[in-house]
Chains A and B, each alone.
Chain A
């Protein structure tokens, strides 16, 4: 069977869902293909944090747009997405870290972000129960927040269908056909061929596999990141706490459920797509959480799991056109796909429909210089 579309979106995670939604809203006939089920890759394993505290200027600007979208997304999609503006607090335990945060804050304030460096005492007021031993202070942005990755993604997918698009789950792309340097169609594992002038590769950690179908290399490498979730308890504090020490961690209490949920970035990194659980994490993560907030000691852990960060070479997204006409990529979100998703979706849709996104995405281009890394990964 064959059919036609204006844009075929490959990938049913947050990036594909959001881009598909904004494309459909701009009048495109969208067919979204998901190999397994929505959120079955990295989106469904993320902890739902949303922040504009980055050092790359385009990341800050994209995140300011994303936060604007998140704040109205429940109304837009007609269902709650559990958006809560609880802030992010990055803790500094030495003067070197404080200086790095001050440098970042200067850049962030330049784009109008409400962020400041606060004293250790002030950190303690915002996070009751925080152990202030050795704490110098923190970079605090009250407009950062959290939302539910499943509700956001499923909300966008429902929107695509409502706007006349199609979402095909358990449908894998086997081939992307190109003629004279231009995309023609995708062929699925069901044997169907979908003809479209635009194809978006939003395959997350698997974007390079899809890119190879048209001979475009997408420099995304997966790392394993582990997470845990606790039982739900009474509300203790609002912000995501981030401890950047080599044995640090980050965690937040979910507004909807009352669970604490958090992760850390392992040293050294664990490359590859495996999502098994380690014994080290289930003992280390609790130790690190309790060290920061001792009264969490009695809160019970329900589950640990793992997911993959699709890392780009410099830790910033890979978005834009490719050498193959009509073949676009939005991947390599480097652990921030959920928070970037709404804005990247809107900007990619604008790029595909008009060629001119309201924020130029050149600094996220596939052929950029990757030597300047994001400092607040």
Chain B
């Protein structure tokens, strides 16, 4: 795909509406409600890495921990800066990867010593 045609597409790969059509707001990080426009603004303000964008917009800090948005944001960074998505450093994945209740995690050590107790 040439650079020009990649620019003509938005982050999800869907062709943008023709000019003159009002573009709807595209939410990229649904958990923290960050839009494509906010992400582009952050990049243009000098926040060039996924880690920095995460710190200013909380992208990837919500329920899905970035599974939904980080790759999309990496593509937006590529469009804005030319840094290939494949060369961008992903934020370190952190446990527990999937949200788990405090009560369940807190019983883990007891459970390992004894039997697993469901609520």
Q: Is A298 an interface residue, CB under 8 A from the partner?
A: yes
Q: Is B82 an interface residue, CB under 8 A from the partner?
A: no
Q: Is B4 an interface residue, CB under 8 A from the partner?
A: no
Pairwise interchain contact B95-A286, C-beta atoms closer than 8 A: no
0/1 interface trace, chain B 29-42, chain A, CB 8 Å (1 if under): 00000000000000
Nearest Cβ in chain B — how far from A332, in angstroms?
24
0/1 interface trace, chain B 64-102, chain A, CB 8 Å (1 if under): 010000000000000000000000000010111001111
Q: Is B16 an interface residue, CB under 8 A from the partner?
A: no
Nearest Cβ in chain A — how far from B31, in angstroms?
9
| Cα of A40 to Cα of B52 in the assembled complex, Å | 8
Q: How many residues of A contact B (CB 8 A)?
A: 32
Pairwise interchain contact B106-A290, C-beta atoms closer than 8 A: yes
Nearest Cβ in chain B — how far from A249, in angstroms?
11
0/1 interface trace, chain A 260-289, chain B, CB 8 Å (1 if under): 000000000000000001010011101111
Q: Is B63 an interface residue, CB under 8 A from the partner?
A: yes
Cβ < 8 Å to B, chain A residues 22-42: 37-40
Nearest Cβ in chain A — how far from B39, in angstroms?
16
- What chain B residues lie within 8 Å of A154 (beta carbons)? 55-56
Pairwise interchain contact A287-B99, C-beta atoms closer than 8 A: no
| Cα of A138 to Cα of B100 in the assembled complex, Å | 31
Pairwise interchain contact A302-B99, C-beta atoms closer than 8 A: yes
Q: Is A136 an interface residue, CB under 8 A from the partner?
A: no
Pairwise interchain contact B99-A231, C-beta atoms closer than 8 A: yes
Indicate whether A300 sits within 8 Å of B46 (C-beta atoms), given known contacts A150-B56, A154-B56: no
- What chain B residues lie within 8 Å of A299 (beta carbons)? 101-102
- The 7 A-B pairs at the shortest CB distance, nearest first, are namely A297-B103, A287-B106, A286-B106, A300-B99, A286-B105, A286-B102, A283-B108
